[in-house]
Amino acid sequence: MADAVTITEKDIERYYELNKLQKEVKQEMNVLKKKFNEFLDDTVGKDQKGEIERGNLKVQRQIRSSTTYKDKPTVEKLEGLNLNEFIVVEKRPDTDKLESAIKLGFVEEGAFEDCKQTKVTKAIVVKEV
């Protein structure tokens, strides 16, 4: 049998303090990132890769871009050009309608038991009381 886990007041206090510290660190890092980006925008150009060297440290900015197409207007244009083979038809269940039909007794709930998925997410929140 595994050893029982114990949680002390000190453990909770440490978690609380670290969480506060993490938020402060992220906030300060965001301020510095903004400063670095503004400097690089002014010196090498907006959306351009670049670097800053000071002492034995170097800040490098990498630029990544991705292109997506807006669903509705793109599909409309493809249909207008008769390029239907470029359109993906996605079949998905209308779960709201299915749940309503189950509640109203039109559909047997048991028939869909093996189709259900339940996602469980754990979150730890420590607050000062």
Q: Tens digits of per-residue pLDDT, 72-128?
A: 999 999 999 999 999 999 999 999 999 999 999 999 999 999 999 999 998 878 877
In a domain, 125, yes or no: no
Higher pLDDT, 42 or 125: 42
Please check whether residues 53 and 85 belong to one and the same domain.
no
Q: What is the 3-state secondary structure (H, E, C) of 18-77?
A: HHHHHHHHHHHHHHHHHHHHHHHHHHCCCCCCEEEEECCEEEEECCCCCCCCCHHHHHHH
User: Which range marks the domain in which residue 34 is found?
Assistant: 9-61
Q: Is the pLDDT of residue 2 over 90?
A: no
Instruction: Spell out the residues 6+ positions from residue 45 whose beta carbon is closer than 8 angstroms to its own.
Output: none
In a domain, 96, yes or no: yes
The CB-side HSE value for 58 (13 A sphere, CA atoms) comes to 5
Please check whether residues 53 and 13 belong to one and the same domain.
yes
DSSP run (H or E) holding 61: strand 57-61
The pLDDT value recorded for residue 1 is: 67
Please check whether residues 81 and 52 belong to one and the same domain.
no
Instruction: Residue 63: name the closest of 40, 42, 31, 29 by CA.
Output: 40
Domain count, the chain: 2
In a domain, 3, yes or no: no
Please give the average per-residue pLDDT across 63-76, as a whole number: 95
Per cent of the chain over pLDDT 90 is: 90
Sign of torsion over alpha carbons 107, 111, 113, 114: negative
